Amino acid sequence: MRGLSNKVAVIAGGGNGIGAVTALRLAGEGVSVVVGDLDRDGAQAVAERIESKGGRALAVQFDMTDDASVGALVKAAVDTYGGLDFMHANAADFSNIALDTDALNVPLEVFDRTLAVNLRGYLLCTRHALPELLKRRGAIVYTTSAAAYIGEPERVSYGVSKSGINALMRHVASRWGKEGIRANAIAPGLVVTEKMRGTLPEEFKAYALSMARSPRLGEPDDIAAMVAFLFSDDSAWINGQVISVDGGATLR
């Protein structure tokens, strides 16, 4: 894709799954990648894979909920590679997803933790990345979800956090778009990662496939390709959008 070679990207949540594949895709396009993750070993493994293929990568352990930690992640990119062109805010906490019920019953600590990672953390990524992105007229891509707009009877914390991400993205595009910043969000469908491949029940996969307008379920490469596109010069006139990459499971 045009305009990716010799650029610098931070993947906030790049140690596994979609984030890891996105880091590999961007590196393959010539981007120097800072792989940030709470899982130090996961981030390091991704960075080593990139370097083994001739790319440039740095692994950084960070905490999406900690202001100083997010700041250190962005600083590592600037100190190592001289600046920042792209931020992909992708981290999420699914550890309490089974307890994320409805507005009457969800434990407040589950609600607070979900928003701390999935929404406040995205604000922190934005605040620390923007000053550097403005220097290079860069781009931010946020990972959101259809849960932000389809209306679910459960996962209230998750849905609220993703709705907030969409609002944050539109705010950034509206406030700094005239200064050259592009902000967009990707809403993935069911993406079968390597970790999920052997554990996801077949009946659930069949149900998800029945809801889509595609002959297959999603792969991390599908999301990585859209991230790369939204960072590239080929998407220069796309700003402030939530883009569903879900095999047609949702139609808007």
Question: Do the beta carbons of residue 84 and residue 10 sit within 8 Å?
Answer: yes
For 95, the token pair is 């550890």
Cα torsion 110, 114, 115, 116: sign: positive
Q: Which residue has the tokens 């509206």?
A: 174
Tell me if residue 158 is catalytic: yes
In the block, which residue shows the tokens 């609220």?
Answer: 160
- Strand blocks (E) in 63-200: 86-89, 139-143, 182-188
- 219 and 189 Cβ atoms separated by less than 8 Å: no
Task: Report yes or no: 239 and 182 within 8 Å, Cβ to Cβ.
Answer: yes
**What's the token pair of residue 152?**
């679910």
Q: Where are the alpha helices (DSSP H) in 116-155?
A: 121-136
CB 140 within 8 A of CB 182: yes
Q: Which two tokens stand for residue 128?
A: 């620390």
Catalytic residue among 81, 149, 158, 207: 158
Q: DSSP 3-state helix, strand, coil percentages of the chain (rounded to 5)?
A: 50, 15, 35
Residue 66, number of CB atoms within 10 A of its CB: 14
Catalytic residue annotation: 158
